[in-house]
Amino acid sequence: MQMIEKMKNLVREKDTCVLATVSEGNPHCSLMSYVTDPECREIYMVTHRQTRKYRNLAGNASVSLLIDTRAGAGKEEIKALTVGGVFQKIEGAEKLERVRKSLLARHPGLRVFLEDPGAEIFSVRVKSFQLLEGIRDATYVEVE
């Protein structure tokens, strides 16, 4: 299996990540539920528009996600995937509804949140992956 496919499979297998945003040089991390498109080119999440993270996203579209396997893995087996990307608003009612349904299917507990008029579903367009397997094995791949 190609390394890029190994990275994408990790994204597909997991459904929570840490989203890192920045405002005025100050980092901010948030635990987020997500779904991805089949090609792992976009990762979809939802947040409230009145949050610090949303203000950060609107002011600086560059983000980083951390997806890992620490739950249930021994320290030598842990994998950590850093995803570099760009925040994007989702354009088009059809796509927005498709993503909303995907989020509900994977995360039924988000129903009330997704129905809140102040909630915003957004996309992170993937630009790069960096997979760390164990302590020393790191692989970096830029995505077109």
Rounded average pLDDT over 98-123:
96
Residue 81 lies in a domain: yes
Q: Report residue 2: phi and psi, to 5°.
A: -65, 150
* Distance separating alpha carbons of residues 82 and 18, to the nearest angstrom: 10
Count helices and strands in the chain by DSSP H and E runs: 4, 8
67, 13 contact by CB (below 8 A)? no
Query: How confident is residue 144, by pLDDT bands cut at 50, 70 and 90?
Result: confident
What six digits make up the tokens of 77? 């087996």
pLDDT for 53 beyond 90: yes
C-alpha 77/C-alpha 123 separation (Å) is: 30
Q: Is the pTM of this model over 0.85?
A: yes
3-state secondary structure 87-121: EEECCCHHHHHHHHHHHHHHCHHHHHHHHCCCEEE
Cα separation, 78 vs 92, whole angstroms? 38
Q: How does pLDDT run across 9-29, given as a tens digit for each residue? A: 999 999 999 999 999 999 999
Q: Is residue 130 in some structural domain?
A: yes
Q: What residues make up the domain containing 90?
A: 3-138
Q: Give the CATH number of the domain where residue 126 resides.
A: 2.30.110.10
Cβ distance 10 to 67 under 8 Å?
yes
Asked if 40 and 12 touch (Cβ cutoff 8 Å), the reply is yes
In a domain, 144, yes or no: no
Establish if 88 belongs to a structural domain.
yes
Residue 112 within a domain: yes
Count of domains forming the chain: 1
Instruction: Write the pLDDT tens digit of every residue in 77-103.
Output: 789 999 999 999 999 999 999 999 999
Q: Is 143 inside any structural domain?
A: no
